Structure 1
């Protein structure tokens, strides 16, 4: 199926509400939260640079993440015509190539804003923009892989904005504990992204997207996702104990135990419960992120 095979529309201009739907505000929260984790973990008082904090949140969420959603919707228009024909592009509410033009315009705006953050912020913005297109667009389209695709999204949703927030406030490379925790939570986010793939199972199967729910089956993919989410958090707890942050380690352990209880519910019926877990277990996961960020803000270890 090509763009010409999608339902025709008499619209010349996109529906503003459809544009908002396409850039999915609900997806902006994880990178915005991760950026704030980076700000906290840097040890620099956010009040010392409120403009950088606020603009960084906007860059991580509405701009770069919103752009990635627009690019993904454009590149996934054939898949969405199978899975979700009511979505903005296949439904015709965003006609013609408007989805592409919007994604490209947001790419340019993201890079221009990123430029104002200096070398570290701009470099991270470039990585995020390139990763967004590499995930969705041919010929790379890492989304086809159930391993590389979720890994890249996890890195860009959690690790990259965390690193960026710390680097921008520190005006330099973050300390090693910051980098280590950002990496661990990025790895764990691979499991979250795998569960997110459950909603597109049928369309992915028909269009050759080899997500883990497609290649492993829902039950095995869900079990793997749980392990991938849990093990990095165990490593975070161990690191916090080693860095003499026992109370913070206990806090992360508590939210992990709550996640394990939610995982038991998930594994009873992965296809039905994956959306529920993404609204329940993920909140616990990001709570642990912020606890960890507060834990290391005073370590003062240079890279």
Structure 2
């Protein structure tokens, strides 16, 4: 098995997986698909991992510096990273015909991009040698790195990661294991769990439109934003430990499978909890 995409083009049934060919039939993992559905990025699961990009179903020749894993692709911007056996990562961006290594933050040797928006702003984190020695950051389109502010009401926090970024600059991720959102002006806000307790562990994986997807207190969760504030929170039916890893701007949650017993799926109308209707 190489990799699959869901193809809704004419002549194909919606939601039916389509096989993605890989060089030599090597196994691979799809990590991302661009908003238009034409470009798909990921890696070949070989040693060491090799970045791979499909465009209109065909494998694209990558430049020499695009190695390891493709994390995200939007338009003509591709971001990814290579890793060492100790999971030390070096991030890169491919745009304007060249591959550039992402800038580091002083005191942190490693970089890990995770998402890019239509304006070319990259979200991710930098990390040191310890597993929890991470700082959430963005890289602007000119390559400048900007550490994100951690919430002041948790003064003991020293770690965090940025997992997705909207076109308006809103960022989601986690800080010290709690689901977190950063507004476009950089202000952090804890998202909390589906029962209204912001001190529950979790992570926000993705943002689409006014919806944020992730998990809180071990429960798959969809948060709704409105007028620059957190509007409501909804729990989703159990989808296993992987939770809501992505979603769409209309509120449809995409639920990850475990590859063994539970298939990936979607949830159009999750059960609602919290302070307002969706």
Higher RCO (C-alpha under 8 Å, 6+ residues apart): 1
Which structure is higher in strand share?
A: 2
